[in-house]
Amino acid sequence: MFVGGYISAAGLGLTCPEWPLCPNGIFPNEEYFIEWVHRLVAATTGTLVIATSVASWINKNAGRKIKFTSTFAAALVVTQITLGALVIDLKLHAVLVAIHLGVGILLFAMVLLTTLFAFKITKPRIETKT
């Protein structure tokens, strides 16, 4: 979200006008570098979110909350990728840019909840003497 916010605020959203790769292919020149970094970070994050969802379903000890939030996050990743492509294709349509940001915030929330559920530390019970 930080890199995407920078891209938007700096007016660099259409620096790389093709999707998914920039005009020079996988390794662009410096003209496309910032937008390329945004796409690289997004692709890496998306891969990790989907892998987390798959792992939560494979792991027998994962609770319902973790399965729900990680699966919802994986669905949001696919939505976010689709919106990102549409934003580029439709030349930064303001409504789509706003929805892209909103889905990004919701995605962040689901990843955060998944992490919190995964690392939930139970409080030790205090036994009272009677």
The answer to the question of residue 128 being in a domain is no
The pLDDT score that the predictor gives to residue 22 is 76
- On whether residue 103 sits in a domain, the answer given is yes
Burial class from Cβ neighbours inside 10 Å (0-12, 13-18, 19+) for residue 80 reads buried
Question: Strand pairing partners for 22?
Answer: 25
Q: Are 13 and 37 in contact (CB under 8 A)?
A: no
Residue 129 in any domain: the answer is no
Chain centre distance of CA 38: 11
76 is a domain residue: yes
Domain holding 27, by residue range, is: 2-12+20-118
Number of residues that this document lists for the chain: 130
Does any domain span residue 39?
A: yes
Domain contains 97? yes
Domains in the chain, number: 1
Q: Enter the tokens of residue 80.
A: 């976010």
79 with 101: CB under 8 angstroms? Answer: no
Q: Is residue 47 part of a domain?
A: yes
Look at phi and psi of residue 52 and say left if phi exceeds 0, alpha if psi is from -120 to 50, else beta: alpha
Look at residue 121 in the predicted model and tell me its pLDDT. Answer: 65
pLDDT of residue 115: 93
- pLDDT value of residue 88: 86
pLDDT at 74: 98
Residues carrying an active site annotation: 35
User: Which residue ranges of the chain lie beneath pLDDT 50?
Assistant: none
Does residue 71 lie in a domain region? yes
